[in-house]
């Protein structure tokens, strides 16, 4: 269990380094106190959540409170990762926000069917991106009550 | 004249000739029989005349014998001959004398004969009763001879006349017989000929019919073969068409896939250009010169435009692949919704938009809304600067509005979007529906040039058409023809 005063950790699954940079910039401009971790694809994401391989050292540290998930990623894409998370008895309680450039209706529908909590199309303009980040953090960290966060997945 | 009729006529003619010939032959034969009887009769009569003269001579010889000898033995042949002569003389009347002259002659002859018989009998009486001298005293040889000669001469005349008649009659009988033979011969020949002709014609008619029957049978076989060939060709063509349709659908799908992927993947780097351009502008504008800031602005604007183009391309490529199922759609409601979306733009230029009563059809409501929105938006965008836009959406009369057509499953409705804007030259009526086609410079009228292409693609997905007509400066009319009902399975590839 983590202390309520600790800012919740944000995990971003995003393969594009440019997008990572822009997100970092936006998060910085939004002046968030939350720590943000990045993983580059679905495989890394699952390793991170399960504290395996490269992320074994994180064992014991708290899991992130919110996951921003890109759908189009190499090795294992966001759709497969989302399906896996939502089938996991512990991980399925985390809010997952799809954060993608895809505007395809089938992606939208499929994501909600898999149990995603929000579906956000990446804003084109940086200003909008900052606004979106602010809205997301406001909503998930100020308004919404999140489930208790376990130390790590089983 | 048809062969059948010739044939009938020949047969009828043959029969008629045969009947005619038979009749003539019958009549001639009767005549011949008649003539023959007459000739026989005449011959007998003439024979009688000759016999008469001969009996007369015998009687005279007998009488002379008795007169000079007184021997009674002469009397018996004398009496026989006289009896015979008298009998023959009586029978002459009626047997000879077919003409009045001849009858007269016969009468004269009878009288002369009677006189002669009388002379003979008288002398015999005198000789028997008064003796030879008395008889000789009565005997006048000259008168006697002259009477006899007179009888002979008259008999000769009668005989000659009768023989002449007989000759004529015989000649006639011979002629009749000859004519009959000729008539029979010619008639038989002609009718035989006609019957042969009729038979030949009949035969050839039968042969002709048989040939035509055979020909018909051959033609039927040939036609069957041709039908079979046609069926084969058609099914091959249908297969080919189906294969081509499938190929076309596949290539269409590939194209859409390509357009989708391309536009999607193009968006990624573009978004970066925009985002970093913005970052540059926001964080480092102060470090740039005036010129640098101008370049940056142009770059960001170009990227924005490209964003729009890609978005439209994406929309265009997804008309077919992302279309919804067809359901009953109230086009009037849809057009009003589309107008509501454009309320701001419409208010700005004081546009008067009139939506008339439109039909309910089976369609993709979202796409219909987009279609009307694009058309109305265009009408507002290309308004004439000197007048407030007036836009009218009306259901025009379809070509066929009879009751029978109303219930047809392939019934179509015709909707027009009319405006009073700047219109366009007629030569551009097709070009305006092309992808990225523009008629005006971008700074005069913004837009990607895909709007109408999307509209037409939507119409086509519904199995309909979209065309435009206009006159420069006099407004444009866009005509939408859409089927009222959609076939099962829709038009989606």
**A142: DSSP letter:** I
CA separation, residue B105 to residues A104, B40, B119, B159, B315 (Å): 151, 21, 21, 11, 146
Strands B412-418 and B475-483: antiparallel
Distance CA B479, CA B466 (A): 6
In this complex, do A124 and B307 lie within 8 Å of one another by their Cβ atoms? yes
In this complex, do A101 and B314 lie within 8 Å of one another by their Cβ atoms? no
Strands A96-100 and A118-121: parallel
In this complex, do B278 and A127 lie within 8 Å of one another by their Cβ atoms? yes
Cβ neighbours of B279 in A, within 8 Å: 22, 25, 126
The residues facing A12 across adjacent strands are: A38, A68
The residues facing A121 across adjacent strands are: A100
**A113 and A119 Cβ atoms separated by less than 8 Å:** no
Q: Is B102 on the interface with A (CB under 8 A)?
A: no
**Residue among B454, B459, B384, B379 at smallest CA distance from B419:** B379
**B484 and B492 Cβ atoms separated by less than 8 Å:** no
Q: Is B274 on the interface with A (CB under 8 A)?
A: yes
ipTM above 0.85, yes or no: no
The residues facing B471 across adjacent strands are: B475
**Residue among A32, A34, A62, A33 at smallest CA distance from A48:** A62
**B290 φ/ψ angles, rounded to the nearest 5 degrees:** -55, -45
In this complex, do A126 and B264 lie within 8 Å of one another by their Cβ atoms? no
Query: Minimal Cα distance from B307: which residue of A?
Result: A124
In this complex, do A101 and B322 lie within 8 Å of one another by their Cβ atoms? no
Indicate the helix (H) or strand (E) that contains B479: strand B475-483
Placement of tokens 């759609």 in the chain: B329
Cβ neighbours of B276 in A, within 8 Å: 18, 22
Q: How many CB pairs under 8 A join A and B?
A: 32
**Residue of B259, B271, B276 to mutate when probing chain A, most A C-beta within 10 A:** B271
In this complex, do B271 and A124 lie within 8 Å of one another by their Cβ atoms? yes
User: Which of A18, A122, A125 faces B278 most closely, judged by CB atoms?
Assistant: A125
Q: Is B271 on the interface with A (CB under 8 A)?
A: yes
Distance CA B431, CA B437 (A): 7
Strands B465-471 and B390-396: unpaired
In this complex, do B322 and A105 lie within 8 Å of one another by their Cβ atoms? yes
DSSP structure string for A49-117: HHT-GGGGGGTTSPPPSEEEE-S--SSS-HHHHHHHHHHSTTGGGS-EEEEES---HHHHHHHHHHT-S
DSSP structure string for B274-303: HHHHHHHHHHHGGGS-HHHHHHHHHHHHHH
Q: What is the 3-class SS of B229-245, one letter each residue?
A: HHHHHHHHHHHHHHHHH
In this complex, do A101 and B279 lie within 8 Å of one another by their Cβ atoms? no
- Write down the pTM of the prediction: 0.47
CA separation, residue B185 to residues B17, B171, B181, B199, B401 (Å): 12, 20, 6, 20, 85
User: Which of A103, A105, A126 faces B278 most closely, judged by CB atoms?
Assistant: A126
User: Which of A101, A104, A105 faces B271 most closely, judged by CB atoms?
Assistant: A101
Asked if the model's pLDDT at residue A1 lies above 60, the reply is no
Q: Is B465 on the interface with A (CB under 8 A)?
A: no
Cβ neighbours of A122 in B, within 8 Å: 271
In this complex, do A16 and B275 lie within 8 Å of one another by their Cβ atoms? no
| Burial bucket for residue B15 (CB in 10 Å: 0-12, 13-18, 19+) | middle
Query: Minimal Cα distance from B272: which residue of A?
Result: A18
Cβ neighbours of B282 in A, within 8 Å: 126
Q: How many CA atoms lie within 13 A of B482 on its CB side?
A: 30
**Residue among A72, A84, A63, A91 at smallest CA distance from A14:** A72
Cβ neighbours of A77 in B, within 8 Å: none
Q: What is the pLDDT of residues B119-149, one digit of tens each?
A: 888 888 888 888 888 888 877 878 888 888 8
pLDDT tens sequence for chain B (493 residues): 566 677 778 778 878 887 888 888 888 888 888 888 888 888 888 888 888 888 888 888 888 888 888 888 888 888 888 888 888 888 877 777 678 888 888 888 888 888 888 888 888 888 888 888 888 887 787 888 888 888 888 888 888 888 888 888 888 888 888 888 888 888 878 878 887 888 888 888 889 889 999 999 999 999 999 999 999 999 999 999 888 888 888 877 777 777 777 777 777 788 888 888 888 888 888 898 999 889 888 888 888 888 888 888 878 877 777 777 888 989 899 999 888 888 888 888 888 888 888 888 888 888 899 899 999 998 888 888 888 889 999 887 655 555 555 556 668 889 999 988 888 888 888 888 887 777 777 777 777 778 888 899 899 888 889 989 888 878 889 999 988 888 765 444 4
**B395 and B358 Cβ atoms separated by less than 8 Å:** yes
The pair of structure tokens assigned to B16 is 């008629």
Distance CA B305, CA B294 (A): 17
Work out the minimum CA distance from B286 to partner chain A, whole angstroms: 18
Kindly give, in sequence order, each residue whose CB lies less than 8 Å from that of residue A112, ignoring residues fewer than 6 positions away. Answer: A119
* Coil, helix or strand at residue A39: strand
Cβ neighbours of A126 in B, within 8 Å: 275, 278-279, 282
**Residue of A18, A23, A108, A130 to mutate when probing chain B, most B C-beta within 10 A:** A18
User: Which of A22, A102, A105 faces B275 most closely, judged by CB atoms?
Assistant: A22
Asked if the model's pLDDT at residue A4 lies above 60, the reply is no
**Residue of A125, A128, A129 to mutate when probing chain B, most B C-beta within 10 A:** A125
Kindly give, in sequence order, each residue whose CB lies less than 8 Å from that of residue A91, ignoring residues fewer than 6 positions away. Answer: A49, A85, A153
In this complex, do A16 and B264 lie within 8 Å of one another by their Cβ atoms? no
Overall average pLDDT of the A79-92 stretch:
88
Residues 297-336 of B with CB under 8 A from A: 307, 314, 322
């Amino acid at each position: 269990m983590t202390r309520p005063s600790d800012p919740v950790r944000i995990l971003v699954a995003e393969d594009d380094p440019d997008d990572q940079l822009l997100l970092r910039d936006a998060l910085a401009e939004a002046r968030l106190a939350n720590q943000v971790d990045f993983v580059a694809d679905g495989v890394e994401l699952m390793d991170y959540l399960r504290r395996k391989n490269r992320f074994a050292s994180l064992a014991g540290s708290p899991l992130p409170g919110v996951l921003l998930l890109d759908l189009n990623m190499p090795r294992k894409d966001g759709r497969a990762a989302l399906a896996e998370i939502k089938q996991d008895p512990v991980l399925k309680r985390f809010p997952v926000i799809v954060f993608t450039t895809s505007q395809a209706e089938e992606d939208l529908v499929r994501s909600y069917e898999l149990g995603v909590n929000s579906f956000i199309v990446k804003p084109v303009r940086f200003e909008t991106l900052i606004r979106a980040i602010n809205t997301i953090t406001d909503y998930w960290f100020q308004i919404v009550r999140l489930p208790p966060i376990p130390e790590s997945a089983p | 004249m048809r062969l059948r009729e010739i044939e009938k006529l020949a047969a009828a003619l043959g029969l008629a000739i045969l009947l005619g010939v038979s009749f003539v032959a019958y009549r001639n034969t009767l005549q011949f029989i008649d003539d023959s009887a007459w000739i026989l009769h005449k011959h007998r009569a003439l024979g009688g005349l000759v016999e008469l003269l001969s009996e007369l001579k015998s009687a005279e010889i007998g009488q002379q014998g008795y007169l000079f000898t007184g021997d009674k033995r002469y009397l018996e042949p004398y009496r026989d001959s006289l009896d015979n002569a008298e009998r023959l003389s009586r029978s002459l009347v009626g047997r000879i004398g077919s003409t009045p002259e001849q009858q007269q002659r016969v009468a004269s002859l009878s009288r002369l004969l009677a006189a002669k018989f009388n002379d003979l009998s008288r002398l015999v009486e005198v000789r028997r009763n008064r003796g030879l001298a008395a008889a000789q005293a009565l005997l006048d040889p000259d008168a006697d001879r002259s009477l006899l000669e007179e009888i002979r001469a008259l008999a000769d005349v009668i005989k000659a006349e009768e023989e002449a008649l007989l000759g004529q009659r015989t000649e006639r009988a011979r002629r009749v017989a000859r004519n009959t033979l000729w008539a029979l011969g010619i008639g038989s020949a002609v009718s035989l000929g006609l019957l042969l002709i009729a038979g030949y014609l009949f035969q050839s008619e039968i042969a002709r019919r048989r040939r035509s029957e055979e020909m018909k049978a051959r033609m039927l076989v040939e036609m069957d073969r041709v039908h079979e060939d046609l069926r084969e060709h058609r099914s091959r063509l249908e297969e080919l068409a189906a294969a081509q349709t499938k190929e076309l659908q596949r290539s269409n799908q590939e194209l859409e896939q390509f357009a989708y992927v391309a536009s999607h993947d193009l968006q990624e780097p573009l978004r970066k250009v925009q985002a970093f351009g913005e970052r540059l502008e926001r964080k480092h504008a102060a470090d740039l010169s005036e010129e640098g800031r101008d370049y940056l602005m142009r770059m960001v604007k170009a990227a924005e435009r490209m964003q729009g183009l890609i978005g439209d391309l994406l929309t265009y490529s997804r008309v077919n692949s992302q279309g919804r199922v067809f359901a009953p759609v109230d086009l009037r409601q849809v057009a009003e919704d589309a107008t509501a979306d454009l309320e701001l733009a419409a208010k700005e230029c004081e546009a008067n938009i009139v939506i008339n009563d439109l039909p309910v059809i089976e369609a993709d409501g979202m796409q219909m809304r987009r279609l009307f929105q694009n058309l109305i938006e265009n009408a507002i965008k290309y308004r004439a600067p000197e007048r407030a836009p007036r836009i009218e959406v009306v259901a025009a009369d379809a070509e066929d509005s009879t009751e029978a057509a109303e219930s047809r499953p392939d019934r179509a409705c015709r909707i027009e979007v009319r405006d009073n804007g700047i219109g366009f030259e007629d030569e551009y009526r097709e070009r305006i529906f092309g992808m990225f086609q523009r008629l005006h410079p971008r700074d005069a009228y913004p837009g990607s040039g895909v709007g109408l292409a999307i509209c037409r693609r939507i119409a086509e997905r519904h199995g309909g058409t979209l065309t435009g007509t206009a006159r420069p400066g006099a407004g444009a009319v866009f005509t939408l023809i859409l089927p009222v009902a959609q076939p099962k399975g829709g038009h989606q590839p």
